[in-house]
Each structure stands twice: as structure tokens, then as C-alpha cells.
Amino acid sequence: MLVLGIETTCDETAAAVVRREGEGPGVVLSNVVRAQLDEHAPFGGVVPEIAARAHVDALDGVTTKALSDAGVALRDLDGVAAAAGPGLVGGVIVGLTAAKALALATGKPFSAVNHLEAHALTARLTDGVGFPYLLLLASGGHTQLLAVLGVGRYMRLGTTLDDALGEAFDKVAKMLGLGYPGGPHVERRAAAGDPARFSLPRPMFGRAEPNFSLSGLKTAVRLEAERAAPLSERDVDDLCAAFQAAIVDVVADRARAGVRAFAERFGAPTALVVAGGVAANGPIRAALKNLAEQIGAPLVAPPLALCGDNGAMIAWAGAERLALGLVDPLDFAPRPRWPL
Ligand code: KG4
Ligand code: ZN
């Protein structure tokens, strides 16, 4: 089954063609991502109106390239998928409308994909992981520990009570004068810093419910930064290192609580999966790998190109849904809010 996937929920215009051949991993035939970094950089975050217009400008070229990179013509496709949310509604409309038009013009089935579900199912695209599995979904807008029971079947074991993990990285980067998105900047500066110079809290550490709370940690970074101001390059490195060390401890501890919550209901997890933009973070991956080894399960983390937003995950989620006979109508409305 060959599916074209389109992603426009935030600040990446992306399209990809993926092949699914029964159970087992899929094949990414093309994966084109056009990030809008330059458009949003002056504002220190994503501006919805600018994002929507940039998607309009880029989508045609990105989709054409995804098809030609894959060596696939529209008539070869078995389906067209687009992320229908959650995300910024202006951008969602652009990708959703384009995918519907392609489906209508070619007579191919259409799939409206939940962006979070696409992150959640990426481990099946890359590694063919079987259900059920434990997932830490950590992006700029969402942080959840989920039991993934099947396509469309998720049980939320824990969530963040305030900021998402990626959001915490982005806010700390902003207060330290680093660029957007913050995660890669903080990771790079942290590698050069001393994590022990500033002492920061580990919110929720040791709690049984696998929830997160990150706003207190963010505030603690701000207070240390104000105390140390004006900040030298060295101070920024050390603050990033201390922040990231606290995050790594929190993620490992909360994921451990997630393992317990999962085991109570479904038995020991056979795979620990991490997905979303934050899954690109090296020390977070290393801590989760360590936890996975302790529980005797593999850690499945997407390759870096599939951690951030991309079209391949949308195409794959569409393929999984279409394989189950789940076709969506062409009047499917955008869902800016769409919890799993
Ligand atoms: O999944 P994603 O690309 O978009 C959303 O759906 O939100 O995630 C973006 C988030 C941003 O908050 C970004 O700062 C974070 O992922 N991120 C990272 C790293 N790379 C991206 N966070 C920590 N370390 C990284 N290396
Ligand atoms: Zn995402």
C-alpha cells in the first residue's frame, strides 16, 4: 500500500510517500520537510498567520518533490493522508484541503490523521513494534505517557500538569537568549556546561502517578539566571547543563512510574517507545535506554529525521488506518484540539 502524507499543523511543511506491506515495518520512499525557521525567527516563536501563509507557498513544491523523490505518480497511490489536527488551525486547513483535493481528483481514499497518533505509531513504521507498548510522547505542545493498545486505541497513563517538555526547553532557551526551537540550542550548550554548578528541583520525582510538572523547574532556572545576571557564555552553558540534567532525571523517573502503571494493567511492557521532537535529545534517549535495559525491553526511538514533525509519520498513520478499512469523508473538519 502506497500512501502520500501531508503535515502542516505547526511550522514544518512536510510531505512523504510511505509503503506498508502487511505487518512489520514500513518503507519511507521519500520524506520532504521544509522548516519555516527563518520566517518565525524574528518573533522567538511560531506566528500562526505567518505559518499558514508559508504553508500555502511551500506545500505544492514539497508535495511534488515527495512524489518525484519516491518515483511515484499520483495514480500509483492507494491513499492520501493529511494531519487534521491538533495544531494551528490556519496551517491545518492548508494541508487538509490540499490532501482532500488530491484524493478527490484521483479518486483515492482519504485519511484524516491525528498528528499525535502519527507520532505514536512511528515506532511501527521504523521497527514494526507490536501492540501494546508504552509510549512517552514528548513534543512542543504535548507530554504524555500512553499505553498504545492499537490503531485508534490509547490509554493515557499520565500527562503534564502544566508545560510540555519541548515547551520547557523552548521557554528556557528564550529566557537565556537562545534561538527557537530551544531544544537543540539547549542540548548543544548543555554539552559544554557544568550540570552541578546550579542546583535545580526535580518536580514530581518519586510520585506514583506518572504525571509531569515542569513550570516550577522553569521558574527555578529563571531565578538562577536573574541571580547570575549579566550572564556570561559560561553561565548560559552551565544553566543549560543544570536544566537538562534535571529534565533527564525527571523523564527517567516519570517513565519509570509509567512502566509501573502500564504493568499493573497490561503486564510488563515489551517495548519502551519515545516519540515527538524531544525524542531527538541525546541525554534523554540515553536515560530512557538505561531504563529500558533495566526492565529488559528494547527502547525504540525514531531516527532523528522522524522525531520532529514530518510527512512520513502522517503517511504511515494513514496507511495503518486505511489498512483497517478506516476511510474518512472529504468534509472532515479540521480539529485544532484533538486529544488522543
Ligand atoms: O514534535 P515536534 O517537532 O513539534 C510538535 O508537534 O510540537 O516537537 C518540537 C519540540 C520543540 O519544543 C523543540 O524544542 C523540541 O521538540 N526539541 C527538542 C530537541 N529537538 C527538538 N527538545 C530537546 N532536545 C532536542 N534536541
Ligand atoms: Zn509533532
pLDDT digits (tens, 9 = 90+) for 201-229: 999 999 999 999 999 999 999 999 999 99
Average pLDDT over all residues of the chain = 97
Predicted local distance difference test score (pLDDT) of residue 44: 81
Q: Which ligand 1 atom is the nearest neighbour of the CA of 309? A: 3
What's the 221 CA to ligand 2 centre distance in angstroms? 25
Atom of ligand 1 nearest to the CA of 141: 7
CA of 235 to the centre of ligand 2 (A): 31
* pLDDT computed for residue 62 by the predictor: 98
Tell how strand 12-19 and strand 2-7 pair up. antiparallel
Pairing type for strands 143-150 and 272-275 reads unpaired
CA–centroid distance, residue 298 to ligand 1 (Å): 23
Domain ranges of the chain: 2-122+309-323, 132-269
Q: Does 267 show up as a binding residue in the annotation?
A: no
Is 138 annotated as a binding-site member? yes
Which of 139, 175, 176, 340 to probe ligand 1 with, by most ligand atoms within 8 A of CB? 139
Categorize the per-residue pLDDT at 126 as very low, low, confident or very high, splitting at 50, 70 and 90: very high
CA of 141 from ligand 1 middle (Å) equals 9
Please state which of the ranges 37-51, 86-100, 293-307 shows the lowest mean pLDDT. 37-51
- Is it the case that residue 41 has pLDDT exceeding 90? no
The ipTM estimated for the assembled molecules is 0.98
Domain 132-269 sits in CATH at 3.30.420.40
Confidence of residue 71 (pLDDT cuts 50, 70, 90): very high
Condensed to tens digits (0 to 9), the pLDDT of residues 323-334 reads 999 999 999 999
pLDDT tens-digit profile of 151-173?
999 999 999 999 999 999 999 99
**What integer pLDDT is reported at residue 277 of this predicted model?**
95
What local confidence, expressed as pLDDT, does residue 42 receive?
87
The rounded Å distance from CA 123 to ligand 2 centre is 14
Sequence letter at residue 124: R
**14 close to ligand 1 (CB < 6 Angstrom):** no
- Name which residue sits closest to atom 10 of ligand 1, judged by CA: 140
Residue 58: the pLDDT is 98
Q: Three-class SS string for the chain?
A: CEEEEEECCCCEEEEEEEECCCCCCCEEEEEEEEECHHHHHHHCCCCHHHHHHHHHHHHHHHHHHHHHHHCCCHHHCCEEEEEEECCCHHHHHHHHHHHHHHHHHHCCCEEEEEHHHHHHHHHHHHHCCCCCEEEEEECCCCEEEEEEEECCEEEEEEEECCCCHHHHHHHHHHHCCCCCCHHHHHHHHHHCCCCCCCCCCCCCCCCCCCCECCHHHHHHHHHHHHHHCCCCHHHHHHHHHHHHHHHHHHHHHHHHHHHHHHHHHHCCCCCEEEECHHHHCHHHHHHHHHHHHHHCCCEECCCHHHCCCCHHHHHHHHHHHHHCCCCCCCCCCCCCCCCC
Shared fold status for 2-122+309-323 and 132-269 = yes
For domain 2-122+309-323, which architecture applies? Answer: 2-Layer Sandwich (3.30)
CB distance 109 to ligand 1 below 6 Å: no
325 labelled binding-site residue: no
Residue 302 CB less than 6 A away from ligand 1: no
Mean pLDDT of 283-301: 98
Was 206 annotated as part of a binding site?
A: no
All residues with CB under 5 Å from ion ligand 2: 139, 309
CA torsion, points 260, 213, 164, 320, in degrees to nearest 10?
A: 20
Q: From the CB of 278, is ligand 1 less than 6 Å away?
A: yes
Task: Tell me the C-alpha distance between 246 and 240, whole Å.
Answer: 10
Q: Is residue 244 in contact with ligand 1, taking CB distance under 6 Å?
A: no
The verdict on the CB of residue 281 being under 6 Å from ligand 1 is: yes
Q: Is the CB of 309 under 6 A from ligand 1?
A: yes
